[in-house]
Amino acid sequence: MNLWNQGVWTAPLRGLPVRWYPANWNLQQRKKRERFQAVVKDLPGTITTSMLYPSDPFQSPISHLRCKAFKVV
């Protein structure tokens, strides 16, 4: 709950980053949040989700970007 109160949109769930939303949001509001995205192409194969999202999200190498959530595709 501390992460939510600090404005972090992603929380660890058994080692995986999971995006969360307020329970009272409808699908349209959730999709609106997903609209703000950036894409990084040609990431090295050594970059993994666990590297970008360690157990302490504030220790992430991308935390200085102030991104609230990410997804590795």
C-beta of residue 12 within 8 angstroms of C-beta of residue 60: no
Q: Has residue 36 been placed in a domain? A: yes
Q: Has residue 6 been placed in a domain? A: yes
Q: Has residue 70 been placed in a domain? A: no
Domain containing 7: what range?
2-65
Summarize pLDDT for 18-58 with one digit per residue, the tens.
777 778 888 888 777 666 666 777 888 888 878 877 777 77
Structure pTM? 0.41
